[in-house]
Amino acid sequence: MADQPLIQIEKTGAVAVVTLSRPEKLNSLTPGMLEQLEAVAGTLEADITLRAVVLTGAGERAFCVGADINEWSALAPLDMWRVWVNRGHRIFDRWAALRLPVVAAINGPAFGGGLELAAVADVRVADPAATFALPEASIATCPGWSGTQRLVSLIGPSHVKSLALTARRIDAQRAHQIGLVDEIAESKQSLNAALAVAEKIASLAPVSVQLTKQLINAASGHGAAAALEAMAGALSATTSDAQEGMASFRERRKAHYEGQ
């Protein structure tokens, strides 16, 4: 991980605020930032005091305008595949699968990889001035971090094609109409509005919230096998038979199961 903290975490009670902190470059993503995003995901998962996460960009000029073109354009083709696209997919998938609900506070433009990052959130709150785009075709490339996959399950293929095949920008109102944004905040208040959503989530039963997120993700085709196995394992672990099984193992005797 790079020494410079380009991904910052601040805890507010049971809510963690994660900020992309490269405002001078409109929070565009670098390989180092991807590494930090991955490390932050592990930190969030390990913190049992947390109940929700807010993801936002530093400054007032952008949420994230995507991948830093100066970083990825210098990569050799194989490195582009291994270091950039594959790593980004893995990290974004990890964020989408976090047990904690994630609320994106979209405080400005969310373009390309920035829009793909916003899509990993469970709830998206936008500033009225926020804009959205998949501009990759305008620079002779393609969405690389699940813009053609996760976004399709979120807003449908027609809306994704309208964005990706034209490279046009849409405003917050249009994003809300097509289901890309769940709420439009008051001007300059996207972070506060997202925090209010996260705090509401954090006030509810955390295990129920986290299980419900996994079930909804499974219904959307994401992580179904893992969700089913995790819930089956958790349920079976609460039974008397599970206690008997562990006791018999420790006592080196045959187990006597009763189906309870």
Q: What is the DSSP letter of 56?
A: E
Q: What is the pLDDT of residue 94?
A: 95
Among 89, 205, 206, 101, which residue's Cα sits nearest to residue 150? 89
Active site residue 24: no
Would you say 64 and 112 are in contact if contact means Cβ atoms under 8 Å apart?
Answer: no
Q: What is the pLDDT of residue 223?
A: 63
Among 18, 101, 14, 13, which residue's Cα sits nearest to residue 57? 18
**Which is catalytic among the residues 71, 136, 183, 244?**
136
pLDDT tens over the chain, length 260 residues: 445 689 999 999 999 999 999 999 999 999 899 999 999 999 999 999 999 999 999 999 999 999 888 776 666 666 666 667 888 889 999 999 999 999 999 999 999 999 999 999 999 999 999 999 999 999 888 888 888 889 999 999 999 999 999 999 999 999 999 999 999 999 999 999 999 999 999 999 999 999 999 999 888 776 666 666 666 767 777 888 778 878 888 889 888 878 87
Active site residue 136: yes
**Which is catalytic among the residues 10, 35, 116, 251?**
116
3-state secondary structure of 31: helix
Distance between terminal CA atoms of the chain? 49
Please report the DSSP string for 168-236 in residue order.
--EEHHHHHHTTS-SEEPSTT-HHHHHHHHHHHHHTS-HHHHHHHHHHHHHHTTSSHHHHHHHHHHHHH
Question: Can you give the pTM of this predicted structure?
Answer: 0.88
Q: What is the pLDDT of residue 238?
A: 81
Domains, the chain: 7-202 (3.90.226.10), 206-251 (no CATH)
